[in-house]
Amino acid sequence: MTDVAEEFAAYVASRQRALVRTAYLLTGDLHEAEDLVQSALTRTYLAWHRIRDRNSVDAYVRRVLINEHHSWWRRAWRRAERSTDTLPERPGAADSRFEERDEMWELVQTLPPRQRAVVVLRFYEDLSPTEIAAALGCSVGTVGSQTSRALAALRARYEQSPDASEATRRRAGSGHGNAERGA
């Protein structure tokens, strides 16, 4: 194996699980997430010789991951079939905190790709608005507006959710909570 291949293999070995988790939050499907990461890593490997600052590899890979996801989403949207079947009720979770978290991530999946990416990078990856702007190739102001729109959409959808308790609806409607920290 060449030095470049060994260096890339070491990077993949150390970061693949985290990348799959991020991709899962973007796609909502483990198999799609794994495929997305493979596609992003393939593109990254082809450009590995151009990445001069090895400290910025994570930012570069996240950017490729998000761009690749947007491309997949656009292609899927064009050929998507609309299901008319109703899905069965999902079994209830033992702990309401897990239930609320699962419901919130389901709602995140309904956001447009850019807003979903901002939410994942901000609240899961814990990136700063500046880092998100670099990953998405936009301004910090755009990150702020996309975050605000995403949170407003999530709040509205959650308040309308039949499973949301009255206390949770009040909490979501108040605009308070750790989801709005620094966004």
* The residue type at 94: A
Architecture of domain 96-180: Orthogonal Bundle (1.10)
- 31 vs 124, which has greater pLDDT? 31
Note the pLDDT of residue 2: 82
Instruction: Count Cβ atoms below 10 Å from residue 168 Cβ, excluding itself.
Output: 16
Q: Minimal CA–CA distance to 110: which of 174, 30, 37, 26?
A: 26
Query: Is the CATH number of domain 3-78 3.40.50.720?
Result: no
**pLDDT tens digits, residue range 80-99?**
454 555 554 555 444 555 56
- Which residue type does 79 have? R
pLDDT score for 43: 92
The mean predicted confidence, pLDDT, of the chain is 79
Residue among 129, 141, 117, 134 nearest 60 (CA):
134
Q: Domain boundaries in the chain?
A: 3-78, 96-180
Specify the higher pLDDT residue, 170 or 63: 63
Instruction: Please give the residue that has the higher pLDDT: either 39 or 160.
Output: 39
